[in-house]
């Protein structure tokens, strides 16, 4: 993170991944990031228009309940950019376990449209419920404003506590 901030110079750095409570932004702000992007924590918000079952699975999940799906090229287009090698995490589903066990049985021409149809009919989470490891830090479904308020309160507490500790340990 420190090196990214140095390289970015005048450009704002927004950090993402694994941020679900105040500790994440506090750790990002310390070396100079200006902001954070929050994914999984806000999926489990009252306002998020995903299936309640998906939200409940996020609340129940441990980090290891999320996986990097194997053989994702058999059911998804290259992710985000044509040369991207990453693929978002997901909670386990019977579909993903079938792909892992028998990839050759999944035909890309059939699987892609099937996933699109599932997403359009509100059943996407039955196949591919994107969810980060930060699910382990999500324990409830709250209004988005309350999530943000709690995170900001936590960040302020952590930074104040850190400043106090530095003041106490500074040589007099
Ligand atoms: C619903 C959802 C959709 C996502 N879509 C993409 C995507 O299109 N491209 C990508 O690179 N990452 C995608 N991701 C991964 C996010 O970039 C990742 O979750 C982000 O770094 C935030 O991490 P967090 O979920 O721990 O907050 C997605 C994640 C979720 C939860």
pLDDT digits (tens, 9 = 90+) for 39-68: 999 999 999 999 999 999 999 999 999 999
Alpha-carbon dihedral of residues 121, 105, 78, 1, nearest 10 degrees?
90
Backbone angles phi, psi at 171, to 5 degrees: -65, 140
Q: Any idea how long the chain is?
A: 172
Kindly state whether residue 112 falls inside one of the protein's structural domains. yes
Kindly state whether residue 169 falls inside one of the protein's structural domains. no
Ligand 1, residues 13, 130, 136: which to mutate, most atoms within 8 A of Cβ? 130
d(CA 131, CA 154): 23
Are 116 and 85 members of one domain?
A: yes
Ligand 1 atom 2: residue of nearest CA: 130
Kindly state whether residue 39 falls inside one of the protein's structural domains. yes
Are 147 and 123 members of one domain?
A: no
Q: Which two tokens stand for residue 115?
A: 């996933």
Task: Tell me which residue range forms the domain holding 31.
Answer: 1-61+134-162
Residues 40/58, Cβ–Cβ less than 8 Å: yes
Are 34 and 71 members of one domain?
A: no
CA-based nearest residue to 104, from 70, 67, 68: 70
Pocket of ligand 1 (CB under 6 A): 16-19, 37-41, 43, 79-80, 86, 88, 130-132, 134
Ligand 1, residues 44, 63, 80, 88: which to mutate, most atoms within 8 A of Cβ? 88
Kindly state whether residue 2 falls inside one of the protein's structural domains. yes
Q: What is the pLDDT of residue 107?
A: 87
Chain-centre distance for alpha carbon 78: 19
Stated pTM of the model: 0.89
Tens of pLDDT, residue by residue over 124-150, are 999 999 999 999 999 999 999 999 999
Domain count, the chain: 2
């Amino acid at each position: 993170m420190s090196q990214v901030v140095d390289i970015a110079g005048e450009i704002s750095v927004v950090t993402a991944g694994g941020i679900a409570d105040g500790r994440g932004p506090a750790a990002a702000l310390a070396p100079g990031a200006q902001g954070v992007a929050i994914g999984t924590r806000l999926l489990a918000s009252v306002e998020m228009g995903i299936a309640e079952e998906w939200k409940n699975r996020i609340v129940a999940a441990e980090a290891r309940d999320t996986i990097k799906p194997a053989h994702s090229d058999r059911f998804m287009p290259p992710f985000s950019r044509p040369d991207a090698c990453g693929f978002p995490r997901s909670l386990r589903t019977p579909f993903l376990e079938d792909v892992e066990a028998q990839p050759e049985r999944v035909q890309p021409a059939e699987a892609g449209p099937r996933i699109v149809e599932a997403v359009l009919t509100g059943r996407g989470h039955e196949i591919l419920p994107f969810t980060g490891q930060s699910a382990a830090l999500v324990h409830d479904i709250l209004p988005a404003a309350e999530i943000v308020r709690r995170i900001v309160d936590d960040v302020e507490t952590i930074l104040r506590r850190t400043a106090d500790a530095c003041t106490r340990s500074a040589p007099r």
